[in-house]
Amino acid sequence: MNKMIIALVAAFACSAASAGVIDFDDLPGDPTLPLDSGYAGFNWTNIGAIRSDAAPGTGFETGVVSPSNAAYNWYGLTATISTADGKAFSFAGADFTSAYVDQEISFEAYRNGELVRSSGAYTLDTLAPQWIRLDWAGIDTLVIYNSSGTQWAMDDFTVPEPATLGLFGGALMGLFASRRLRRRG
């Protein structure tokens, strides 16, 4: 019985910690600088980082969920995020806030240049971040479109961590093994 409880606790702990979060707080937050290719394992096209205090009273200020910075799309352009090594990744979701006016954003996901997923439109305002959860796996490029030609802020870009998912699988295997041993004994 104790083994089963331990396995359940481990499974719960692993599932609660199964995401890697890119919060952009390790960047200077200078809005004139693009995100470097390879930052956090991704190539970022038309994306920079901005401090929460760089534009008071805008969605840039309200859109920062982490302590200091958010990413944003330069000049309101379509933004692209792709893996630096060309391997597939999973995109769980991120917090988005419109910078200046209400707008809609939508997403497309590609693998090896082929469209594999697309979303409907999500409406953003400047007052508070909106968590957009997509849970798209096996993609190498994420494209973010906006309807208004204006900027948005993005924080807590979340991708699952394979190592933690492995721990979760191991915890489940332990649970099943303890149940089998219990039935035999």
pLDDT digits (tens, 9 = 90+) for 59-77: 999 999 999 999 999 999 9
Q: Measured between alpha carbons, how far is 124 from 153 in angstroms, rounded to an integer?
A: 10
Question: Do the beta carbons of residue 40 and residue 82 sit within 8 Å?
Answer: no
State if pTM tops 0.85. no
- 46 token code pair: 């038309």
Strand partners, 108: 118, 143
Strands (E), 32-129: 42-45, 47-51, 69-73, 79-83, 89-98, 103-111, 114-118, 122-124
Q: CA of 58: how far to CAs of 25, 53, 55, 128, 167, in Å?
A: 19, 10, 6, 10, 41
Q: What is the pLDDT of residue 174?
A: 56
Q: What is the pLDDT of residue 1?
A: 52
pLDDT mean values, one per 10 residues, the chain (185 residues):
46 47 97 96 98 97 97 97 97 98 97 98 98 98 94 97 52 52 58
Q: For residue 95, give the nearest of 159, 18, 160, 154 by alpha carbon.
A: 154
Q: What is the pLDDT of residue 101?
A: 96
Q: What is the pLDDT of residue 165?
A: 46
